[in-house]
A and B are shown apart, each in its own frame.
Chain A
Amino acid sequence: MRRETQNILLILLGGALLKLSFTDMYLRYVKAGLQPLLIAAGAVMILLAGLAIVRDLRAPKEAEEAHGDHEHKSSRSPWMLLLPVLAVFLIAPPALGADTVNRSDRNAAQESKSANGFAALPEGAVIPLSLGEFVTRTAWDDSGSLDDRVVKLTGFVVRKNDATYVARLAISCCAADASPIKVRMTGTGFDSMPTDQWVEVTGKVVPGSATKETAYVPTFTVAEIAPVATPVDTYES
């Protein structure tokens, strides 16, 4: 591959990284903390390619002699750089959803047992909880602090066999390590929601439903369910 083509590919790839990090699109793939590193990496790519272009323009002959010969027969691997560029600019893959949840039978949140017990739940008629906290409490908190409390959960709709769940994915580094957190819904109102639709559900936990037999997936009696817009960061950590 020619040096000029390599430089263009590098600029495109750097541009793709910058586009991701400036538009919140990067949150579909990695954690928020990676943003400064992504910007730096994109900038360095563009800078390295830019410097090479400037150097070639200033001394074309010399550059040709130094790099022309072996780079023509060098490997074809740099062509692969085009794939992420096209994927980001043309396809922009969505954040992971129901398909990923159904690939595993695990329920991730319950595995991280909190060593110091649980803080008291806040007062109020309706308590908004993250799915992770809700599932962990149902699995480990035997004080029954959640029983008879009205809770509001946010997640997307997942269907497997005959069951319907509200679920989210937790990532610790990037979407490749996503693991599901899910709560089974009973009651009414969720049949009309399409799979992968983001919803807010209010209701109560069925006490004692998160057991080893149910793979620690608690059951949730839905009182109210409403579709909501997809959040900017769809993952829990």
Chain B
Amino acid sequence: MPGIISEVTITSEIRDPRPRGRGPLRGKVTSLEVLCLLLVLALVLQDWLIGVLDAPQLRTASTVFVAVCVQAMPFLVFGVLISGAIAAFVPASALRRLLPKKTALAVPVAGLAGVALPGCECASVPVARRLMQQGVPPAVALSFLLAAPAVNPIVLVATAVAFRDAPMMVPARFVGSLLTAMVMGWLWTRFGKAEWIAERALRKFEEKEGTSRWAVFTETARHDLVEAGGFLVLGGVFAAAFNVLVPTAWMETLGAQIVLGVIVMAFLAVILALCSEADAFVAVSMTALPLLPRLVFLVVGPAVDVKLFALQAGTFGKSFALRFAPATFVVAIASALAAGAVFL
């Protein structure tokens, strides 16, 4: 702990004497002072905090919270690095040349391109945003956003390993997720409105004369990491709360009827917010359920869950997330049922 305190003090000492160049800021309490205060308070109240969190339920929740954050951070970092690289090194014209001119054709291409981003859902949000910024039509970027976490090789291999006894789960999941991504892309082409997406999501990093590519790369990545990271943590709080509050055992018994099972599993996928590389192992362990509800669980989870909703609301704005997430939820269930009808 002493390391943290001294670090904060040193940095604020360097920063504070610097003239701000703008009048109104002088004498104002800035976020830097607030941060110092919070850190000191947390240190002083450490014993009290530990005491409060000693109830078994809260202990479980705090462990799950840290686990969700720790598990997702490397993938988010991976995502923001790709996002930064696209901003710095891929000119908008190159992307336009790669994708078919017609949006309706570009949507499935973008969905299939998701195969190339091995990671879970946290990585794909910043990348999709950067694609939009580089002039890729929103419908195409969104279709990539939905497909990438579910159709990449790592997730498919994990699914195959988990469902050794039901190998058809793998193509069913692949087709169900791809279908979700494509249908949502086409729906957005037809009904989506650009103004639903927050203006800040599409604002370009202000590139000035003489800014090196590397500076653009690191600045974009840093900015995305700070913004998206905050929302990821918020999603982790929700996931931990639901993990403790929702009686999973009860939901598993409820799910034994097929119709109810599909609905219950779809909601369970949303509130558990599992990593798409792990959800197959959880689904395979729910042996009380038929395969179809479990397929719904696997298709809905990577497309929409509380963690993703928080990330999307933060990245693209609330009015976008409030429309996009429920629509995705319905489309994902329908796509999973369609894929299940063919493969299972």
Residues of A within 8 A of B (CB): 1-2, 4-13, 15, 17, 20, 26, 28-30, 34, 37-38, 40-41, 44-45, 48-49, 51-53, 55, 57, 60-62, 64, 66, 68, 70, 74-84, 86-91, 93-96, 98-100, 103-106, 108, 111-113, 115, 172-177, 179
B residues in contact (CB < 8 Å) with A = 1, 3-4, 7-8, 11, 14-15, 18, 20-22, 30-32, 34-35, 38, 42-43, 46, 49-50, 53, 56-57, 59-60, 62-71, 73-74, 76-78, 81, 162, 164-165, 200, 206, 208, 215, 218-219, 221-222, 225-227, 229-231, 233-234, 236-237, 239-240, 243, 247-249, 252, 272-275, 277-279, 281-282, 284-287, 314
A30 to B75, CA, bound (A): 14
Q: Is A84 in contact with B282, judged by CB distance below 8 angstroms? A: no
Partner of B222, one of A20, A49, A60: A49
Query: Contacts of B3 on A, CB cut-off 8 Å?
Result: 15
Task: Please pick, from B70, B76, B222, the residue contacting A174 in the complex, using a CB distance under 8 A.
Answer: B70
In the bound complex, CA of A38 to CA of B77 (Å): 10
Q: A55 and B215: CB pair below 8 A?
A: yes
**Interface pair B285/A106, CB less than 8 Å apart:** yes
Residues A80 and B234 in contact, CB atoms below 8 Å apart: yes
Tell me the minimal C-beta distance from A216 to chain B in angstroms: 9
Residues B60 and A100 in contact, CB atoms below 8 Å apart: yes
Known: A4-B15, A88-B66, A94-B63. Is A179-B285 also a contact (CB below 8 A)?
A: yes
A13 touches B74 (CB 8 A): no
The complex places the Cα of A94 from the Cα of B50 at a distance, in Å, of: 11
Residue of A nearest to B236 (CB): A84
CA distance in complex: A66, B22 (Å): 14
Look across to chain B and name the residue whose beta carbon is closest to the beta carbon of A17.
B73
- The residue in chain A whose Cβ has the minimal distance to the Cβ of B63 is A93
Contact in complex: A45, B225 (CB < 8 Å): yes
Contact A75 B74 (CB under 8 A): no
Binding site of B, secondary structure by majority: helix, strand, loop or mixed?
helix
Contact status of A8 and B8, CB under 8 A, knowing A45-B225, A49-B222, A78-B226: yes
The residues of B that contact A76 with a CB separation of less than 8 Å are 230
Q: Give Cα A9 to B243, complex, Å.
A: 27
- Cβ–Cβ contact B70 & A93, under 8 A: no
Minimum CB–CB distance from B36 to chain A (whole Å) comes to: 9
| Residues in A neighbouring B227, C-beta threshold 8 A | 74-75, 77-78
Report whether B226 and A9 are in contact in the complex, using a CB–CB cutoff of 8 Å.
Answer: yes
> 27 pairs across A/B with beta carbons < 8 Å?
A2-B30, A2-B32, A28-B66, A29-B63, A29-B70, A37-B74, A48-B222, A52-B219, A77-B314, A81-B229, A81-B233, A84-B69, A84-B70, A84-B233, A93-B59, A103-B248, A106-B285, A106-B286, A111-B284, A115-B164, A174-B275, A176-B240, A176-B274, A176-B278, A177-B275, A177-B278, A179-B282
Q: Which residue of A lies closest to B162 (CB)?
A: A172
Secondary structure class of chain A's binding surface, majority of residues: helix
Contacts of B314 in A (CB 8 A): 75, 77
Q: Verify B31–A5 contact, CB threshold 8 A.
A: yes
With both chains docked as a complex, state the minimum distance between the C-beta of B4 and any C-beta of chain A, in angstroms. 7
CA distance A223 to B320 in the complex (A): 62
Q: Are A87 and B66 in contact (CB under 8 A)?
A: yes
Which chain A residue shows the least CB distance to B68? A176
A172 touches B278 (CB 8 A): yes
CA A201 to CA B300, docked complex, whole Å = 42
Q: Which residues from B are CB-within-8-Å of A113?
A: 165
Q: What residues of chain B lie closer than 8 Å to A174, measured between beta carbons?
A: 67-68, 70-71, 275, 278
How many Å lie between the Cα of A108 and that of B208 in the bound state? 57
Contacts of A40 in B (CB 8 A): 74, 77
Complex contact B77–A45 (CB within 8 A): yes
Give the complex CA separation of A61 and B21 in angstroms: 8
Taken together as a complex, chains A and B put the C-alpha atoms of A77 and B198 apart, in Å, by: 15
With the chains together, A149 CA to B207 CA distance in Å?
72
* Choice from B20, B64, B231 contacting A176 with Cβ under 8 Å: B64
Evaluate whether A90 and B226 lie within 8 angstroms (CB atoms) in the complex, with A4-B32, A17-B70, A104-B248 already known: no
Task: Verify B42–A86 contact, CB threshold 8 A.
Answer: yes
Contact call A6/B73, Cβ cutoff below 8 A: no
Bound complex: CA of A87 vs CA of B74, how far in Å? 18
Contacts of B81 in A (CB 8 A): 44
